[in-house]
Amino acid sequence: MDFSEALLALKEGDILQREAWDENLIISTQIPNTIPNEVISKMTSLRDNLKRCLAYSNLYYLNQIILVDIDSGEITYYIPTSADLFAEDWLAY
């Protein structure tokens, strides 16, 4: 599929990969979520100085696509490259 089809599939909750990528790399979307302030102080994924900056706020996870290495368990953000945008080798995982 091309990227426009891949984006629609991501919006539906599908997990995708490209034929050109290593077979252990996939992308998915994070589920939009609100993290209430009382939970932020307990989060181990945020630095303490950032937690202090957010002392009176909630966190909102919105519209994030993540790149997952299923072999190592590493997760990072995903921003498509020009090659990804014009590729026609997108596959449902």
* Cβ 1 vs Cβ 91: under 8 Å: yes
- Its domain, for residue 60, covers 3-92
Residues 63, 67, 71, 72: is their CA dihedral positive or negative?
negative
Please report the pLDDT score of residue 27 as a whole number: 98
Average pLDDT over every residue of 45-52: 93
Reported as a single tens digit per residue, the pLDDT across 33-48 is 999 999 999 999 999 9
Q: How many distinct structural domains can be found in the chain?
A: 1
Tell me, what's the pLDDT at 78? 98
Quote the Cα angle for 63-10-17, to 5°.
Answer: 120
Quick one: what percent of the chain has pLDDT higher than 70? 100
